[in-house]
Amino acid sequence: MNILSILDEIEKVDGEIYERINPRRKAMQDFFHIGKKISLAAMPLALGSLFNKAYGQATPTAVNEVLNFALTLEYLEYHFYNHALVAAPGLIPAGAPTAAITTIRDHEKAHVDLLKGALGSAARTPLEYANFDFTAGGTFSTVYSDYVTFLKVATAFEDTGVRAYKGQAPVLKGNAVLTTALQIHSVEARHASHLRQMLAANGATGLKPWISLGAGGVSNDTGIAAVDPVYARENTTLQAGVEIMGINGTAVTKAAAAESFDEFLTKAEVVTIANLFLKTGFKL
């Protein structure tokens, strides 16, 4: 076994491997000491231990917490759409609108089933429609009787979901479930875009398929003050310490700079939003 050759090959793929473990000299010392203490047969196990420091995964408990967090949001979205389709006759116009909401509902059900399957016995207690209050204590009292209100709440839910998945991605770094989470994240983004277009077609002036700035440069572009927490920091124009507005002397506007990058929501922020719609005893 030529350990230096192995390290050289790894470095070709990941140039930062030594920084992840230790400076290169320290890494060589570690391998030297390992070599003195163990047999050649045990070397793969020792290497695995060392590289776990560089590519360590989140603990199973942390991963389960994130997946259950996501599962709760998927239950919320599924029941929101399903109730509109099966228990609020006449709310959603026939034709393309009903087809779109049905498709989104089915996607959310698939997400619920996938997350439940991934969690197995660690999955949270299943949530039913009765566990939710989609009026948010009366804030959206016409959510199931007024189509535009329904679309506004749906848009806020989807925008929340997109930003929530983004916020939890670092916790899943190095774990196989990150790929699945990102696949769900992108679908939620497509839902949000489509719902925004549906809302724009029903009188929401100036609403784009993506999050932009609201009136006066505020983060919330929906014009619905009740959902301000969903859009926290979405008017950010500074990225990685670089001001995007007017970057390099270009005519990049504040709106363009803000909408070119999506921001994440923290778990605490999402919990605050979701708990508005969860009844006591089932809150996140």
Residue 59 has pLDDT above 70, yes or no: no
In this prediction the pTM is 0.78
Would you place residue 173 in the very low, low, confident or very high pLDDT band (cuts 50, 70, 90)?
A: confident
**Least reliable range by pLDDT among 41-45, 103-107, 166-170, 177-181:** 41-45
Return the SS3 of 124: coil
Supply the DSSP symbol for 213: -
Q: Among residues of the chain, what percentage have pLDDT more than 90? A: 66
User: Which amino acid would we find at residue 175?
Assistant: N
pLDDT of residue 49: 45
pLDDT of residue 50: 43
* Tokens encoding 122: 């660690």
Q: At what angle do helices 3-13 and 24-37 cross, to 10 degrees?
A: 140
Are 284 and 271 in contact, with CB atoms under 8 Å apart? Answer: yes
Domain ranges of the chain: 3-54, 60-207+264-275
pLDDT of residue 196: 96
> pLDDT of 202-252, one tens digit each?
988 889 999 999 988 899 999 889 999 999 999 999 999 999 999 999 999
User: Which amino acid would we find at residue 283?
Assistant: K
Would you place residue 18 in the very low, low, confident or very high pLDDT band (cuts 50, 70, 90)?
A: very low
Higher pLDDT, 177 or 166: 166
pLDDT of residue 246: 94
Would you place residue 57 in the very low, low, confident or very high pLDDT band (cuts 50, 70, 90)?
A: low
CA distances from 237 to 178, 240, 246, 247 (A): 27, 10, 10, 10
Higher pLDDT, 241 or 171: 241
pLDDT of residue 269: 95
pLDDT of residue 204: 85
Around 245, how many Cα atoms within 13 Å sit in the side-chain half-sphere? 10
Residue 51 has pLDDT above 90, yes or no: no
pLDDT of residue 113: 95
* Tokens encoding 80: 């929101």
Dist CA 244 CA 250 (whole Å):
9
Considering the domain 60-207+264-275 in this protein, what is its CATH number?
A: 1.20.1260.10
> pLDDT of 108-151, one tens digit each?
999 999 999 999 999 999 999 999 999 999 999 999 999 999 99
Higher pLDDT, 281 or 132: 132
